[in-house]
Structure 1
Amino acid sequence: MKLKIVENQKELEDAFIVRKTVFVGEQNVPAEEEIDQHEEESTHFVLYQGESLIGAGRFRLVDGYGKVERICVLKEARKTGAGKKIMVGIEDFAFKQGIHKLKLNAQTQAIPFYAGLGYEIVSEEFLDAGIPHKTMMKYI
């Protein structure tokens, strides 16, 4: 598996393909909510297995902390370490930028995954795009 920081339009389109497949196609998130006003200010990541696109995520700076967002892996690549590969890559990127506090809004079904990576719940449950979430945080 190879994680890349998006450097061109094709890679950005690849990130959007994975996000739309997972969030819009599988989880019924409205398409107009999935691609949002934060795309241009974000650093995007794509994950490939050989030539095949399998995952994506994005990162942005918000009020001095790193916000990890839109982490997704195609169904056929889940349980292979792909999600962890994306998260570790984003954390390494943040650390190299001097950012040591990370936050994310985890779907409640994904909380065990993020907890296994050292994230701790810091909020009550809330709905985002009709899906239950909790905010989680980690210091790196």
Structure 2
Amino acid sequence: MTVKIVENQKELDDAFTVRKIVFVEEQNVPLEEEIDQFEAEATHFVMYQEGAPVGAGRFRVVDGYGKVERICVMKEARKTGAGKAIMSAIEGFADLQGLHKLKLNAQTQAIPFYAGLGYEVVSEEFLDAGIPHKTMIKEN
């Protein structure tokens, strides 16, 4: 598995394909909520396994925090360390940008995953696209 920063339209399309499959098809997030107004300002990441896109995520700077968003892995690549590899790549990118405070809005079912990476819950539960979430932060 290889995680890379998106550098061209094909890689961006690959990242969007993974996001659409995971969030829109599997989790019923409306497409207009999944692909939003922040795409152009975000740094996108895509993960490939044997040449096929299997994971994605994006990163933005918001209010002095590195904001980790849209982390997703296709069913066939889950439980293989793929999510951890995507997070590691994004955290490494943030570190290179001098951003040592990271924030994300985790689906409540994914909180144990992010907690295992050092993130702590800092909010009450809220709905995003009809899915329960909590905000989590990590300081490096």
Query: Quick check: TM above 0.5?
Result: yes
**Aligned residue runs from structure 1 range 66-77, under 5 A:** 66-77=66-77
Tell me the secondary structure at the aligned position of residue 67 of structure 1: strand
Q: What is aligned with 2:21?
A: 21
- Partners in 1 of 2:52 and 2:133 — Cα distance? 30
- Partners in 2 of 1:100 and 1:128 — Cα distance? 25
Displacement of 1:83 after TM fit?
0.1
**Aligned residue runs from structure 1 range 1-140, under 5 A:** 1-140=1-140
Tell me the secondary structure at the aligned position of residue 16 of structure 1: helix
What one-letter code is carried by the residue in structure 1 that aligns with 2:72? C
Displacement of 1:57 after TM fit?
0.1
What one-letter code is carried by the residue in structure 1 that aligns with 2:82? A
Tell me the secondary structure at the aligned position of residue 59 of structure 2: strand
Length-normalised TM-score, structure 1: 0.99
Identity of aligned residues (%): 79
CA RMSD of aligned residues (A): 0.4
Tell me the secondary structure at the aligned position of residue 80 of structure 1: coil
- Partners in 2 of 1:32 and 1:38 — Cα distance? 12
What one-letter code is carried by the residue in structure 1 that aligns with 2:7? E
Displacement of 1:39 after TM fit?
0.2
Displacement of 1:53 after TM fit?
1.0
Tell me the secondary structure at the aligned position of residue 3 of structure 1: strand
Q: Structure 2: 5+ residue runs without aligned partners?
A: none
Displacement of 1:121 after TM fit?
0.1
Tell me the secondary structure at the aligned position of residue 99 of structure 1: coil
- Partners in 2 of 1:53 and 1:24 — Cα distance? 16
Q: Structure 1: 5+ residue runs without aligned partners?
A: none
Question: How many residues are matched?
Answer: 140
Tell me the secondary structure at the aligned position of residue 72 of structure 1: strand
